[in-house]
């Protein structure tokens, strides 16, 4: 590795949005540069089979996430805070996935933001009660995407990453018309 004078400009920061779920966990990775430009690097999902024991599914999520973190080295992660309780079993499952994700991020020394859905929607659309379609439309504008990322878990993860970029000091992102 060559050492030279450090560039006085801020380097681009990699921000990873994570939408936790036991069946499907969405990942969305973006880069935010010093000119306040956001670039989508990729989106994907980690999926686990419903027939496996819970411990095996959690281990699979952890291993896949750890591999991803080590390969892509994000500077910041954004994990949605749990905010539902109509299905108690689903809430417990997602809470356990969040725990695995937060522990894995902490072990890798990656800072993490945890917005609730109301805060996330308000930041992305200006309306804390925005529906999924409004969120996806605004996400496409902000990231200059031609179509909505699929599946929804990946689109949600990208929205979380955009939230992280907006929260970074001095980084005011505006949607593109």
- Is-contact 72 18, C-beta < 8 A? no
Q: Model pTM?
A: 0.88
Which region among 30-39, 43-52, 105-114 has the lowest average model confidence (pLDDT)? 30-39
- More confident of the two residues 171 and 56: 56
Q: Is 42 annotated as belonging to a binding site?
A: no
Domain boundaries, the chain: 13-169
Q: Is 56 annotated as belonging to a binding site?
A: no
Q: Is 71 annotated as belonging to a binding site?
A: no
Q: Work out the pLDDT band at 61, boundaries 50, 70, 90.
A: very high
Residue 80's alpha-carbon distances to 33, 117, 170, in angstroms, are: 23, 7, 22
pLDDT at res. 71: 98
Is the backbone peptide bond immediately before 154 cis, with ω within 30 degrees of 0?
no
Residues serving a catalytic function are 19, 80, 153
pLDDT averaged over every residue in the chain: 89
pLDDT at res. 85: 62
For 13-169, CATH gives 3.30.420.10
Q: Work out the pLDDT band at 116, boundaries 50, 70, 90.
A: very high
């Amino acid at each position: 590795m060559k050492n030279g004078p450090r560039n006085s400009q801020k380097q681009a920061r990699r921000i990873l949005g994570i939408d936790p779920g036991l069946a499907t966990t969405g990942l969305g990775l973006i880069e935010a540069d010093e000119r306040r430009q956001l670039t989508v690097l990729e989106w994907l999902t980690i999926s686990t089979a419903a027939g496996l024991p819970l411990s095996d599914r959690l281990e699979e999520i952890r291993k896949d996430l750890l591999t991803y973190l080590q390969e892509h080295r994000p500077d910041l992660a954004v994990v949605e805070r749990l905010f539902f309780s109509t299905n108690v079993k689903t809430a417990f499952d997602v809470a356990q996935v969040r725990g695995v994700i937060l522990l894995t991020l902490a072990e890798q020394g990656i800072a993490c933001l945890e917005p609730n859905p109301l805060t996330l929607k308000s930041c992305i659309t200006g309306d804390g009660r925005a529906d999924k379609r409004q969120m996806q439309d605004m996400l496409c504008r902000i990231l200059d995407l031609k179509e909505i990322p699929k599946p929804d878990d990946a689109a949600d993860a990208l929205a979380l990453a955009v939230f992280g970029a907006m929260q970074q000091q001095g980084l005011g992102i505006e949607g593109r018309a």
